[in-house]
């Protein structure tokens, strides 16, 4: 009787799940199943499950699904030809009819990938032998050229993802340069820049990253011999605070979502004994259960 029950046919596997315009969208990418890769939609209570789009032979979904306008979704699709050539494109799919329209074909000279959506623009990445480069694409434009957009609409500068790294998190472009000891976050909508002070007491082998928590709150992520930790940053002064989060399987602070003034967090993984083992001829078998919690934003910043 469960309205949200998702049947899995032979050789299928779990769905990727997305939420857009008060509906839940599911992508199934199994290529050897009875049905080809497809997108389905259900109401937010799990009812009215219906298939809206099936792919053709040799096609599959890759990457995330993004809402577009009022009634369309954007998703990357790969196609392997009979000759074994792989082609990639971004398509726009109507949420009701399933009608497909190509937004842009991806060139084969480099790797291109859709990374994020910020307002009405898409953030792509280009990777080749020269390095990594983020850039903007406006999906409503006609005759889009990813090569040209990478040249004319860059986000940040070319980086190597070693000494210098850019990441797009929410609406922020986060930058870490371990050589010049620069850490900053730029709001891609307003242009506001936050600059943070690089700690001088870190060993050379220590990995350093910047994590956007929520609103204008950031943490310095540090991975050293003692493990992975996050140190809360003061966005007004750029200084490190005394609030340190040690990240482990049993003690985690991973933010899953924010809801008004609250955060939903993954906090730990518990090992538990499997129930009713004797009925199945088992003994001493354990499993892991993920545990989540809700806290106010202020409580989270205080480590509670």
Euclidean distance between CA atoms 38 and 53, whole angstroms: 5
Residues 77/59, Cβ–Cβ less than 8 Å: yes
Label residues 232-267 b or e (16+ Cβ within 10 Å = b).
bbeeeeeebeeeebeeeeeebbebeeeeeebbebee
What residue ranges of the chain have pLDDT lower than 50? none
Q: Token match 């310095």: residue?
A: 220
Residues 267/246, Cβ–Cβ less than 8 Å: no
Distances (CA, A) of 267 to 10, 55, 237, 242, 298: 34, 38, 29, 20, 16
Residues 246/227, Cβ–Cβ less than 8 Å: yes
pTM of the entire predicted model: 0.86
Residues 244/229, Cβ–Cβ less than 8 Å: yes
DSSP letters along 13-45, please? -PPEEEEETTEEEEEE--SSSSS-SEEEEEETT
Give the pLDDT score at 94. 95
Give the pLDDT score at 12. 78
The residues near 141 (Cβ < 8 Å, ≥ 6 apart) are: none
Q: How many CA atoms lie within 13 A of 39 on its CB side?
A: 31
Euclidean distance between CA atoms 134 and 46, whole angstroms: 36
Q: For the segment 54-83, what is each residue's pLDDT rounded down to a tens digit?
A: 999 899 999 889 998 889 999 999 998 878
Give the pLDDT score at 76. 96
Give the pLDDT score at 204. 64
Of 25, 84, 35, 72, which is closest to residue 55 (Cα–Cα)?
Answer: 35
**Spatial strand order in the sheet of 207-214:** 207-214, 217-224, 227-233, 240-247
Distances (CA, A) of 31 to 9, 36, 77, 118, 159: 12, 6, 13, 31, 35
Sign, CA dihedral 200-202-204-207, equals negative
Give the pLDDT score at 109. 87
Q: Token match 């790797």: residue?
A: 111
């Amino acid at each position: 009787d469960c309205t949200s029950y998702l049947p899995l046919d032979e050789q299928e596997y779990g769905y990727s799940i997305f939420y857009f315009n008060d509906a839940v969208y599911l992508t199934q990418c199994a290529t050897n199943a009875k049905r080809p890769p497809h997108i389905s939609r259900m109401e937010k209570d799990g009812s009215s499950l219906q298939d809206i789009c099936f792919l053709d032979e040799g096609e599959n979904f890759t990457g995330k699904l993004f809402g577009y306008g009022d009634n369309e979704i954007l998703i990357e699709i790969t196609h392997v030809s009979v000759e074994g050539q792989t082609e990639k494109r971004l398509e726009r799919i109507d949420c009701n009819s399933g009608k497909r329209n190509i937004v842009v074909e991806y060139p084969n000279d480099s790797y291109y990938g859709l990374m994020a959506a910020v307002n009405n623009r898409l953030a792509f990445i280009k990777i080749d032998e020269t390095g990594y480069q983020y850039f903007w694409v406006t999906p409503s434009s006609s005759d889009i050229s990813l090569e040209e957009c990478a040249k004319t609409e860059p986000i940040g500068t070319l980086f190597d993802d070693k000494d210098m790294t850019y990441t797009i998190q929410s609406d922020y472009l986060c930058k870490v340069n371990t050589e010049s000891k620069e850490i900053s976050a730029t709001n891609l909508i307003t242009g506001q820049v936050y600059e943070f002070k690089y700690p001088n007491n870190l060993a050379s082998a220590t990995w350093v990253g910047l994590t956007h928590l929520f609103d204008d709150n950031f943490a310095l992520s540090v991975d050293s011999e003692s493990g992975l930790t996050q140190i809360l940053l003061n966005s007004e002064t750029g200084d490190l605070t005394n609030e340190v989060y040690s990240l482990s399987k049993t003690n985690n602070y991973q933010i899953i979502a924010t809801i008004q003034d609250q955060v939903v967090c993954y906090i730990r993984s518990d090992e538990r004994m499997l129930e009713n083992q004797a009925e199945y001829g088992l003994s001493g078998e354990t499993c892991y259960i993920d545990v989540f919690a809700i806290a106010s934003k202020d409580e989270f910043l205080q480590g509670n």
